[in-house]
Amino acid sequence: MWPAFIDAFLIFWYRIPQNPWAGFCLGTSVLALLCVLAGEFTLSLGYLVNRRKITGDSRDMVAMHNLSVRALEVGDEPGYKACNKVANEAFGRAFFMQIALAAATLWPVPWALHWMGKRFGAVEFPMPLSVPAVGDHVSYAFMFLLFYVLARIGFKSIRHKMPYFGRFHRSLLEEKAKIPAYRSFPGFGRGDG
């Protein structure tokens, strides 16, 4: 089901080094990086299309939540309950948008696992030691996840210097600045409390 040119492009990187382990590391790094870039690009499209809605929902949720914290501060329990109920509705709207953005970021991962399953499904990657109930080898899925996590960490550290993603990241920070800060309950969170 994979078009030949995509398969050829992805496997190309695995075949550059002579050493099979080096080839696997290079190929999987490229695959993981492509997944991160494709996911982040889709996320940026989502933001561009629905920027107002995303910011609006988040602002409503935080504002109403902060108001409920304020109600607690002044000991107004009915006020707190009312604000909490409205905040829950705002949370619902923001939550579903968050799911959409999660889908935007992660959609390439199952595809990568699908492709790797076709290419490396039968390969057993030996571990230096045997883990009880697991055995002495790992699957392609574990190897991919490892490279994917590293690729995400790497991307996060350099995105602000990248041509398109740097601009998007800056605009995202500007949008976030428009949303009031979360007031959290001291002792439970990281907020200003």
115-144: contacts with other proteins (CB under 8 A): 117, 124, 127, 131, 133-135, 137-142
Regarding 102 and contact with other proteins (CB under 8 A), the answer is yes
Give CA–CA dist 160/164, Å, rounded.
9
Regarding 96 and contact with other proteins (CB under 8 A), the answer is yes
CA distances for 172 relative to 104, 140, 167, angstroms: 16, 34, 9
Stretch that binds other proteins, among 14-22, 26-34, 61-69, 164-172 (CB under 8 A): 61-69
Tell me how crowded residue 40 is: count the other CB atoms within 10 A of its CB: 22
Regarding 31 and contact with other proteins (CB under 8 A), the answer is no
Regarding 25 and contact with other proteins (CB under 8 A), the answer is no
Stretch that binds other proteins, among 18-26, 60-68, 152-160, 171-179 (CB under 8 A): 60-68
Regarding 169 and contact with other proteins (CB under 8 A), the answer is no
Residues 6+ away with beta carbon under 8 Å from 93: 57, 60, 61
Regarding 1 and contact with other proteins (CB under 8 A), the answer is yes
Regarding 32 and contact with other proteins (CB under 8 A), the answer is no
Site for other proteins in 66-85 (CB under 8 A): 67-85
CA distances for 115 relative to 2, 26, 112, 131, 152, angstroms: 8, 16, 5, 27, 20
